[in-house]
Amino acid sequence: MSFRFGQARRRRRGSTIIETALVLTIALVTFIGLLDIGSVLFRLQGLTERARAGARYAVVNAFDATGIRNVVVYGNAAGTGGPLLGLTTDLVAVNNVSLGDDLFRIQIVIANYPFQFYTPFMSGSPTLPRVEVSLTTESMGATS
């Protein structure tokens, strides 16, 4: 009788190990997936804020595409310091669209931003969706 009891206990111990391994695997994949989602949202919000900063600078200053790109990438028009969020000026497009009547729309586009997922199943070199911000220039004495 004691022999059968020990055998059943060993079988339960084996099934417990398998169940634990399955549950921990699912929990780990879910946790890493949540990290990826959070990281993507954080980067998209940061890129949107950088594009907005460039657009705000552009609508109150004379149009200078290089200066605007520098504001987006470095946080200042001079282009000094380190790049923010790993941006480069190649990823930032600046357009000045005439609306007539001395009004212009400044458009800042950040496209093809490379992103590395934590999830090991996501291979290749994915890029985040493009971020686009447009603002109409203000009359602050600046000329286009």
Is 143 a member of any domain?
no
Query: Does any domain span residue 144?
Result: no
16 located within any domain: yes
CA dist., res. 128 & res. 47, Å (int) = 10
Does residue 11 surpass a pLDDT of 70? no
Residue 139 banded pLDDT, cuts 50, 70, 90? low
- Summarised one tens digit per residue, pLDDT across range 41-89 is 999 999 999 999 999 999 888 899 999 999 999 999 999 999 999 999 9
Say what the pTM is.
0.78
Measured between alpha carbons, how far is 139 from 99 in angstroms, rounded to an integer? Answer: 14
130: DSSP letter: P
Q: Which helix (H) or strand (E) holds 100?
A: strand 92-100
What is the extent of the structural domain holding 72?
A: 2-136
If one counts the domains in the chain, the total is 1
- 142 part of a folded domain: no
Answer yes or no: is 141 within a domain: no
